[in-house]
Structure 1
């Protein structure tokens, strides 16, 4: 899905861009995937699982996302570097066409600068403009209190818990909190 690039100012005064990533961002996105997975256990992948992604595959994915009516893929860049991304996945099946799911991640050095809020505002603008969508859903890993705070600020509310949803390498089991933003 195409998105008109937005510029905004970070809390530290730097400028950032929200955009549909292009082929030129593919390597930066691959590097970001690995680094973000190294920085937190709140994502669903470990760094070593990112090895299956290739530069050519990433370029093809980016091209397909632009043409997809059911996917909005936003990347935030700061000083030309990938800082984070947000993916809104809409459903094409009639019974669940009113629902979408969102995933977001930021590199740690960009936490607390307003990027998460900007990405969610942009994503929710797109979601609200779609007359079929009635709600946006997400899952958040137990202990990710920063994310839960952002999601609540953006209008999401808790509707359930999925116990034992995540199993870490050391055997620790974590729950996922299920959240929803009812658009209408």
Structure 2
């Protein structure tokens, strides 16, 4: 089921909203991992807004109502530890991270629309591959990426935002233009 979603490039005016979402228990469980102050949100995201990092962030909305966040980045600049991918794929791949911040929007099938629309608008015009790395405990996210046609590549170990060891399931999807 494809629902209409829009993407607004991240701006400083979104930081209060991100602060609210990053402190929601369902977002902290797998994405933000801890409590955030508004100052920490600004420190983390201002380089995205100013173009100091090659991470592009967007507020996701449906019917002009903000509901979540998505970001993309060139994999060659931010590779996954132990990703075991050929250099040719890394060179032509983007990574994405996504969450729905509004609890009332969970379980409505919006995740599929967000991923599908984002790939069409922002990833496939610029990259041949897309990767995602949900926490292996995040069953809903794993189910979402599978439903969007991503294939499991491997389980990787990394550190979460607190420096604790965590396990992630690395997914990959190739552009439909590749044939």
Same-fold status (TM-score > 0.5): yes
Cα distance in 1, alignment partners of residues 45 and 172 from structure 2: 31
Cα distance in 1, alignment partners of residues 64 and 21 from structure 2: 13
CA shift at 1:74, angstroms? Answer: 1.8
Higher relative contact order (CA 8 A, sep 6+): 2
* SS of residue paired to 2:13: helix
Count of residue pairs brought into register by the alignment: 160
Residue matched to 1:136: 130
* SS of residue paired to 2:37: helix
Cα distance in 2, alignment partners of residues 56 and 44 from structure 1: 14
Q: Does 1:179 align with 2:167?
A: no
Q: 1:114 to 1:129 in 2, by over 3 A?
A: same
CA shift at 1:137, angstroms? Answer: 0.8
Q: Normalising by the residue count of structure 1, what TM-score does the alignment of the two structures yield?
A: 0.69
- Structure 1: gaps of 5 or more residues: 1-7, 10-15
Contact 1:28 1:81 in 2 (8 A): no
Q: Normalising by the residue count of structure 2, what TM-score does the alignment of the two structures yield?
A: 0.70
- Higher strand share goes to which structure? 1
Cα distance in 2, alignment partners of residues 52 and 135 from structure 1: 34
Contact 2:15 2:38 in 1 (8 A): no
* SS of residue paired to 2:30: coil
1:72-122 CA-to-partner distances (Å, cap 9, x unmatched) read 322123676642111111146696331211111112331122332222123
Cα distance in 1, alignment partners of residues 44 and 155 from structure 2: 32
